[in-house]
Amino acid sequence: MRDYYEILGVERSADDGALKASFRKLAMEHHPDRNGGCEEAEGRFKEINEAYSILS
């Protein structure tokens, strides 16, 4: 499994605000509804959600 901080693109010392901001940006970018049901985008979206739920 990849590093959750790497998935969200933040440093290990990132605070809650930085985690949330990065999560929101990536979630909007990879949301399946915005990408026409692309399976790759859906997989990335799930990965981003998992990383944020673990780190928050």
Q: Which domains does the chain have, with CATH numbers?
A: 4-55 (1.10.287.110)
Structure tokens, 10: 């933040």
- pTM of the predicted structure, to 2 decimals: 0.87
Task: Supply the pLDDT for residue 37.
Answer: 77
CA-CA-CA-CA torsion sign (49, 25, 2, 36): positive
14-18, 28-32, 34-38, 41-45, range with the lowest pLDDT? 34-38
Residues 19-40: pLDDT tens digits?
A: 999 999 999 999 988 988 788 9
- Mean pLDDT, residues 32-54 taken together: 91
Q: What distance, in Å, lies between the first and last C-alpha atoms of the chain?
A: 18
